[in-house]
Amino acid sequence: MGEGRYREGIGRIARWVGGGGVCYHGDMGDLSKLLNPKSVAVIGASRDERKIGGIVVRNIRESGFGGAVYPVNPKAEDIQGLKTYVDMASIPETPELAVVALPANMVIEVLGQIAEKGTRDVVVFTAGFGEIGEEGKRLEEDMGRFCGEKEMNLLGPNCLGFVSNLVPINVTFGNVAKNPGNLRMLSQSGAIATAVFDWFEAQGLGFGEFITLGNKTVVGENEVLEYWLSRERGDVRERFGEGLSDVYPVGMYLESIKEGKRFLELVREVSRNDPVFVLKPGKSEAAAKAMQSHTGAIAGEDAVMGAALAQAGAIRCEGIEDLFDLARVFAWEKTPEGPRVAVVSNAGGPAVISADVIAEVGLELPVIDDGTHERLLVKLPRAASVVNPVDVLGDALAQRYADAVEILLSESRVQALVVILTPQVMTEIEETARLIGELAAKHGKPVVCSFMGGNHIRKGEEVLNGYKIPSFRYPERAIKALGAMWRWNKWRQGLGEASGVVGSLGEDEARIRKVVSGAKEGGRGALESGESNEVLEVMGVAVPEYRMIEKREEAFLFAEEKGWPVVLKLVAEKMLHKTESGGVVVGINSGEELEARLVEMEEKVKRLGGEMPGLKIMIQKQVEKGVEAICGVKRDETFGAVMMFGAGGILTELVADRNLHLLPVSRSEAVALIEGSRVYKLLVGYRGEKPYDVDGIVELMMRLARLVEGYEEVEEVEINPVIVTHERVWAVDGKILLRNHEEGNNK
Amino acid sequence: MGEGRYREGIGRIARWVGGGGVCYHGDMGDLSKLLNPKSVAVIGASRDERKIGGIVVRNIRESGFGGAVYPVNPKAEDIQGLKTYVDMASIPETPELAVVALPANMVIEVLGQIAEKGTRDVVVFTAGFGEIGEEGKRLEEDMGRFCGEKEMNLLGPNCLGFVSNLVPINVTFGNVAKNPGNLRMLSQSGAIATAVFDWFEAQGLGFGEFITLGNKTVVGENEVLEYWLSRERGDVRERFGEGLSDVYPVGMYLESIKEGKRFLELVREVSRNDPVFVLKPGKSEAAAKAMQSHTGAIAGEDAVMGAALAQAGAIRCEGIEDLFDLARVFAWEKTPEGPRVAVVSNAGGPAVISADVIAEVGLELPVIDDGTHERLLVKLPRAASVVNPVDVLGDALAQRYADAVEILLSESRVQALVVILTPQVMTEIEETARLIGELAAKHGKPVVCSFMGGNHIRKGEEVLNGYKIPSFRYPERAIKALGAMWRWNKWRQGLGEASGVVGSLGEDEARIRKVVSGAKEGGRGALESGESNEVLEVMGVAVPEYRMIEKREEAFLFAEEKGWPVVLKLVAEKMLHKTESGGVVVGINSGEELEARLVEMEEKVKRLGGEMPGLKIMIQKQVEKGVEAICGVKRDETFGAVMMFGAGGILTELVADRNLHLLPVSRSEAVALIEGSRVYKLLVGYRGEKPYDVDGIVELMMRLARLVEGYEEVEEVEINPVIVTHERVWAVDGKILLRNHEEGNNK
């Protein structure tokens, strides 16, 4: 199996690519030629059709490819009846694409010959690079560097290649479904692709292009998205006639994302016209990382991914089943114009279940208007249920189904239809499917089906597949898919909303720079409490008055001057959560109390000072009672700065109020972030209380965003608690972490 | 279609049955004869095999039934070659079972003839009873009453009948799968049953008995469970040889539950030996009900159902797919002895996804021991991943899969195995399936598969089905099913734990009776604050000292005597949430402040007194700060009294901390309820704080349970907030609602 063996290590690809491999793509022009070649050389072509080099030649030839195919193999005279060349140099023209199926140690040499010949687009199937360890990693780095120098687009290595049913050409060594269609698929994993191909074939589902990425040494998801964005869209229904769908859906299976910010821009751009759905595994791995702050812990990799995709208009798949379901529903069905769904069923139970799920996924069951109600009464038997869901009863024949479907699709309030069928003894399964297919085409509204059962209903499913109407074995899946379609359309409809830009906040740059530089020169990873407070004050954030205490008298003086009650805090660089181990005493109301607490604190300083250098006592004026929130910004490795807002103080962990938004954030987005939080229930004024200062929180958010955007030394900022009163917002406990440039960054 | 037409109204059955129909079952002996008849009369038998009366005769005869079949039809001479009788009376023996397929208005008359003949077990297919409105409801009530008088067991009406592959006999008018098996199924809906039959047939899944209930006029789920409990179990594997399964799983689809408490006792009894999984739709309907208290709103029908099933050891299905998946996995697979799962895959991505899901469903991925690791290294290629999940690589042939499976099943730490396969071009799908089948049988540990794809992998699924190894198209489903199996086994393993009984609490019965009777005689639906406090105090619950204020002086006297700070409250029967509209003022620290607040309150009393009769001012001693919880008991219509505990005060709605336990509750169950709550994070002492008085909460729970159990006039009790300090627990605001016997009850 030495020849171009296909391997995929569990988690290993993700770790290798995600860890930041070489990356020379981007300036090399687009993938138009790679994915639409007129001629192909197969290097490592083989007579043996059990070997990759043999399968690929067969696949290209059987795909209906009209261009020239040049097998390259120094030993063979002809392969599958094709004239075979001993090397690239001897091919009579310059092939537009070179495909490599050779052992890893031979690839770089061959790339040299390919470059020599003038070919700039390459697919490398070969495994045995970064995914197998240090040696392979070096080999892959060399390959990447070479491609950069020669300006070559390279797909792979360690990939299954690609299929275009548009060219058509099948440059893979898998069993591939051949129907052309509007779907566009991208998979980092070749194995997932083989399962999808097999399933597509069973469903009769076509696709336009299916690209597998493998190790992404050069070509990654962003290059593919750029290529898709650059293509003429043309009329979907004219080109493919895939049911009612008028979009080119993009489905992706990704184990890592190379340049998160660019990726989101591209996804957002694609999402304007076409739905994007993404499966990204690895939740548990990401969740296991220990974090230095709440923002860090809450805004973990996986949560940021979810927020990022949602902001870019993409649908995140919860599992492999979602990826399959959404591929089918987007490929075939029109996107609903609104959330209002009608249900027709010949069984009560599944209809009740559907009503549950419709509510869960954000769809609605509209009340049917009087006219429609009348029409249903005329057509359906007396015992039928003519509210929505409509029950056509267990003995419904095809015509009764058709009557109900026709009436409901004619009703303007109904924006999508779900048809449920159980195979009762009199049920006309195939004829019902046929009539549904005809009516869906006539009315042009999205229809999804759930024919429930096994062998009997399979025949109905086949008829529905012919009409490009997706049928799901369980009504829950049908409705979930419809819900995702509507969410995407809703996102599109909201695209026009303003996304403001934050202007200068007028802070004193020099003072902030001085504090930050001082801390960095001292080799510290975080500002001290006093420094954080100073930075926040300069930024215009309200911080309760405070003083660092050297001598006990200073505390009494502060309290007399500023007024009671006061708070004492033990502060040190390393003590990030101050309320642990009695580091904060609140509600000190008198001189005697202050004296007693100071004595205790001083003892603590003595006791702990050894392990915690720089331990100090701070006195602070206690602010009014208010709602406690948390607000922070952290930098995500993949997607950049992300803002977090939620319930703070002791509620931080209790409420798990995780609301994220990638920067930049406009005022209206900030308001939406607050309104979407759980703590918002308190902020609007709980049970008749006055509302709290939400505008003040927005202002605070803008300033924190500005701090992270404007000062690259700042890795993370978090205020917890933010005390929100009816009139204003206090940053009581601020934490500013710095980037550690010695280590690249501090993760 | 007048003849025994089969109908199922959406939601209507549930409403009718759940609303409390007539119910004459229970004393009529068990269902042994009904479900295992030696002779059957079919009343309404027909020559027309498109009619129910024709299909049923055919189904009974084709099911292999060895007993006598007597078609009854006044017009026919023979039906399907069987001698036909003009009426029941003319049949030469007393048939053990009578099956009725006649229009609704003829059923009662025929029941009379059946009773006359001495037959006591009846199946009625006929629809057109309670589910169609008042007229049908009266008919159904008459029928129920008649069955009660004559001591007849009646299955239906409006049902699909039943199938026993043990007798064997098929008393339905559906297309039914005929393989005998260990599964036992119960469905209120006939339509769901038709889908399940079709799917069983496609999967090659057998079952023992499948019973549909319809309107449950006489026979309901409890009678069927009693029947199953009464049967000799026998050795499952000897009887059926359904793979490794050694249980008789019970799957149920129920739209309503008739006697919740008895149902739970029975489910609990069945669950000791055999898994029970239940699908119960109707979440959104239940959630829509408006409730009078937090406990009422939080402990809605659906949430109580979930808690009840979990307490009884049953698994609640989240959707129809769960019902299908669990039927298959319990029918075929052995239950895992523990949570530790190994995964073998030829694809990295799905394995990573599996790891995510394993963590989500409460299973574990154990680290493989050194010996096993060595053995894998020897058998697998260098590039394979030999940690768990084990990646056998994309080019794995059947033998490599078998090597990995054999090694992992031999490892003692591995308690179950998941095998994932993607159809790559070299993959030997069928041979891999065969070897997995052999190895699973050899090692006797549960194995579930996920062969991913469509047409290619279907052949592998068929081989696996032959070995009774469930394969799921998506690895997530396989793991979710395995997780449910393990949860059931874990519940069984914990069954020995003590479930204590609450002794006498020594309360002064006479005083409580007096307060409660007084309020009831006054026609009130709730106790006043003072009365609630009195009852709680008598029960031994700590209530902060309080006094109802008639004159202003009394307030000053109270504060001087009991000490500052104090709280003022406006209390009235109808004002259930006191913090609304300024009805509570806390933290009054001085005489001047008290005066000012009293003036305000008195004005409020004047202003609101008109709409709210009985409005009064209460002064109360303010208790120390503590964690605010909510604790209550309500009566659920189906399952009886249920206790709720969670975060209280302003967090009640913010945190949505819903923890329910049906009474009775032992001390250890009360502790588990508290430990399972979100607010427990605060109660254990947040960030180094001292822990709070959890024992005190348990004590409070016991007393509230006693109040509801001991005083049937009490409909609901709720303390919110319960203030929990480090030393004790205060019931600050208690609410006791009374049953309204005039209206039956106050729902």
pLDDT in tens, A693-733: 999 999 999 999 999 988 889 999 999 999 999 999 999 98
Q: Is A459 on the interface with B (CB under 8 A)?
A: no
CB count in 10 Å sphere of residue A133: 15
Q: Is B188 on the interface with A (CB under 8 A)?
A: yes
Residue B16 has a pLDDT of 35
CATH of A545-622, one of 3.40.710.10, 3.30.300.20, 3.30.1490.20, 3.30.70.141: 3.30.1490.20
Q: How would you classify the pairing of strands A209-212 and A184-187?
A: parallel
Residue B288 has a pLDDT of 42
List the single range of A256-270, A288-302, A549-563, B673-687 with lowest mean pLDDT: A288-302
Question: A342 to chain B: which residues are within 8 Å by CB?
Answer: none
CA dihedral B465→B468→B469→B472, nearest 10 degrees, is 50
Q: Is A582 on the interface with B (CB under 8 A)?
A: yes
pLDDT tens digits for B670-727? 999 999 999 998 898 866 678 999 999 999 999 999 999 888 899 999 999 999 999 9
Nearest residue to B99 via CA among B133, B127, B72, B123: B123
Contact A594, A566 (CB under 8 A): yes
ipTM at complex level: 0.85
Q: Is A288 on the interface with B (CB under 8 A)?
A: no
Q: Is B179 on the interface with A (CB under 8 A)?
A: no
Q: How would you classify the pairing of strands A640-647 and B68-72?
A: unpaired
pLDDT tens digits for B415-440? 999 999 999 988 999 999 999 999 99
Residue A258 has a pLDDT of 85
Q: Is B198 on the interface with A (CB under 8 A)?
A: yes
List the Cα angle B339/B345/B350 in 5-degree steps: 85
The position carrying tokens 């559906």 is B174
Indicate yes or no: CB of B453 within 8 angstroms of CB of A11. no
Q: Is B128 on the interface with A (CB under 8 A)?
A: yes
Of A356, A455, A477, nearest to B282 by CB-CB distance is: A356
Q: How far is CA A299 from CA A14, A88, A643, in A?
A: 20, 51, 8
pLDDT tens digits for A69-101? 999 999 988 999 999 999 999 999 999 999 999
Residue B337 has a pLDDT of 95
CA distance B743 to chain A (A): 29
Contact A691, A684 (CB under 8 A): yes
Amino acid present at A517: S
Give the whole-angstrom CA distance, residue A685 versus residue A724: 11
Of A281, A456, A653, nearest to B352 by CB-CB distance is: A281
Determine the average pLDDT of the residues in B438-449: 96
pLDDT tens digits for A124-171? 999 889 887 788 899 999 999 999 999 999 999 999 999 999 999 999
Give the whole-angstrom CA distance, residue B221 versus residue A711: 68
Beta-bridge partner residues of B724: B627, B729
pLDDT tens digits for B370-394? 999 999 999 998 878 888 999 998 8
- Per the prediction, chain B carries an average pLDDT of 87
Indicate yes or no: CB of B383 within 8 angstroms of CB of A194. no
Amino acid present at A363: L
The position carrying tokens 């001598």 is A551
**Residue-wise over B346-357: b if at least 16 C-beta within 10 A, else e?**
bbbbbbbbbbbb
Residue B505 has a pLDDT of 60
Of A198, A203, A452, nearest to B456 by CB-CB distance is: A198
Nearest residue to A69 via CA among A78, A77, A60: A60
Residue A34 has a pLDDT of 96
**Residue-wise over A538-549: b if at least 16 C-beta within 10 A, else e?**
bbebbbbebbeb
Beta-bridge partner residues of B645: B631, B659
Residue A650 has a pLDDT of 80
Indicate yes or no: CB of A281 within 8 angstroms of CB of B356. yes
Beta-bridge partner residues of A722: A629, A731
pLDDT tens digits for A28-45? 558 999 999 999 999 999
DSSP H helices in B494-617: 509-521, 529-538, 552-562, 591-608
Residue B12 has a pLDDT of 33
- Per the prediction, chain A carries an average pLDDT of 87
List the Cα angle A306/A312/A314 in 5-degree steps: 65
Determine the average pLDDT of the residues in A461-482: 96
Q: How far is CA A347 from CA A104, A526, A576, B194, in A?
A: 59, 63, 59, 10
Indicate yes or no: CB of A255 within 8 angstroms of CB of B357. no
Task: Specify the higher pLDDT residue, B13 or A465.
Answer: A465
The CATH class of the A12-330 domain is alpha beta
CA B673 to chain centre: 18
Question: B10 to chain A: which residues are within 8 Å by CB?
Answer: 345, 348, 351-352, 385, 387, 389-391
Contact B391, B314 (CB under 8 A): no
Q: Is A664 on the interface with B (CB under 8 A)?
A: no
Q: Is B385 on the interface with A (CB under 8 A)?
A: yes
Fold designation for B627-741? D-amino Acid Aminotransferase; Chain A, domain 1 (3.30.470)
Of A422, A579, A681, nearest to B653 by CB-CB distance is: A681
Question: A303 to chain B: which residues are within 8 Å by CB?
Answer: none
Percentage above 90 pLDDT, chain A: 62
**Residue-wise over B388-410: b if at least 16 C-beta within 10 A, else e?**
bbbbbbbbbebebbbbbbbbbbe
Residue A130 has a pLDDT of 86
Task: Specify the higher pLDDT residue, A181 or B502.
Answer: A181
Beta-bridge partner residues of A548: A618
Residue A24 has a pLDDT of 45
CB count in 10 Å sphere of residue A560: 10
Question: A197 to chain B: which residues are within 8 Å by CB?
Answer: 453
Contacts of A737 (CB under 8 A, 6+ apart): A292, A293, A525, A526, A714, A715, A716, A717, A746
For the cut 50, the answer to whether the pLDDT of residue B549 exceeds it is yes
CATH of B335-493, one of 3.40.50.300, 3.40.50.1240, 3.10.20.30, 3.40.50.261: 3.40.50.261
For the cut 90, the answer to whether the pLDDT of residue B62 exceeds it is yes
User: Which of 331-350 (A) contact B at CB < 8 A?
Assistant: 345-350
Mutate one of B1, B3, B5, B8 to test the A interface: name it (highest A CB count within 10 A). B8
In CATH, what number does A627-743 get?
Answer: 3.30.470.20
Work out how many CB contacts closer than 8 A connect A with B: 316
In CATH, what number does B545-621 get?
Answer: 3.30.1490.20
**Residue-wise over A581-595: b if at least 16 C-beta within 10 A, else e?**
eebbbeebeeeebbe
Give the whole-angstrom CA distance, residue B161 versus residue B80: 20
Determine the average pLDDT of the residues in B68-79: 93
For the cut 70, the answer to whether the pLDDT of residue B154 exceeds it is yes
Indicate yes or no: CB of B127 within 8 angstroms of CB of A383. yes
Secondary structure (3-state) at B160: coil
Mutate one of A194, A199, A473 to test the B interface: name it (highest B CB count within 10 A). A194
Q: What is the pTM of this model?
A: 0.88
Q: Can you give the residue ranges of every domain in chain B?
A: 12-329, 335-493, 545-621, 627-741
Of B175, B191, B581, nearest to A348 by CB-CB distance is: B191
Task: Specify the higher pLDDT residue, B666 or A133.
Answer: B666
Contact B422, A191 (CB under 8 A): yes
Mutate one of A7, A10, A733 to test the B interface: name it (highest B CB count within 10 A). A10
Q: Is B720 on the interface with A (CB under 8 A)?
A: no
Residue A18 has a pLDDT of 30
Residue B580 has a pLDDT of 47
Residue A10 has a pLDDT of 36
Mutate one of B51, B194, B203, B450 to test the A interface: name it (highest A CB count within 10 A). B194
What band does A296 get if pLDDT is binned at 50, 70 and 90? low
For the cut 90, the answer to whether the pLDDT of residue B494 exceeds it is no
Superfamily of domain B12-329: NAD(P)-binding Rossmann-like Domain (3.40.50.720)
Q: Is A291 on the interface with B (CB under 8 A)?
A: no
Same fold, A335-493 and A545-622: no
